[in-house]
Structures are given as structure tokens and as C-alpha cells.
Amino acid sequence: MSKLILTVVVVAVAIGLWRLTRQSARQAQQRKAAKPLRIRQMVRCTVCGAQVDDQFTVMGPKGPQCKEHGLSKGSARHKAKP
Ligand SMILES: [Zn+2]
């Protein structure tokens, strides 16, 4: 009879631990999902034609330019290869 009680107690503890780990895993997943995704908008530099993240562009007279060209006003010299 005591073996049966011991077995029931062990199974109950195992189920309790399993539920606790499942709950914490679900909470961690919810925290991950709550973070907003940053969508990258890629634009083409009007000077060298390189695809640049929109965040790193400067608006020039002809359109978006990579920061390297946006800062060197008017000069067509650039290091980036098309
Ligand atoms: Zn460029």
C-alpha cells in the first residue's frame, strides 16, 4: 500500500514540475513575441547604386543617398563599388 502512495506522490510531483517548466517557457515566448519587429526598408543610393538600409541614408537632390555621399556635398567621388 505504501508503494502505491509513494508512486502517486512521485507522479504528482513530476506533473507539477512539468507544468511549472511549461508555464515559464510560455512566459518567455510571450516576452519574445511582445518585442516589435523592425522592418528594414532598403533603398538604392542615387550616386553609387548600392542598396542601403533606409535608416542610413540621407536625402539628396536626386533622391536617397548613402551617408558617405550625402555628407560629401556634390562630389561624385566614392569608395563604394556598385
Ligand atoms: Zn552611395
Q: Is the pLDDT of residue 6 over 70?
A: yes
26 and 1 both lie in a single domain: yes
4 and 31 both lie in a single domain: yes
Question: What is the number of structural domains in the chain?
Answer: 2
pLDDT band, very low/low/confident/very high, at 18 (cuts 50, 70, 90): very high
Classify 65 as helix, strand or coil: strand
Q: What is the pLDDT of residues 23-78, one digit of tens each?
A: 988 988 888 888 777 788 999 999 999 999 998 999 888 899 998 887 765 444 55
CA of 39 to the centre of ligand 1 (A): 21
What pTM was computed for the model?
0.42
31 and 50 both lie in a single domain: no
Q: Is the pLDDT of residue 16 over 60?
A: yes
CA of 66 to the centre of ligand 1 (A): 4
Residues, Cβ < 5 Å to ion ligand 1: 45, 47-48, 66, 69
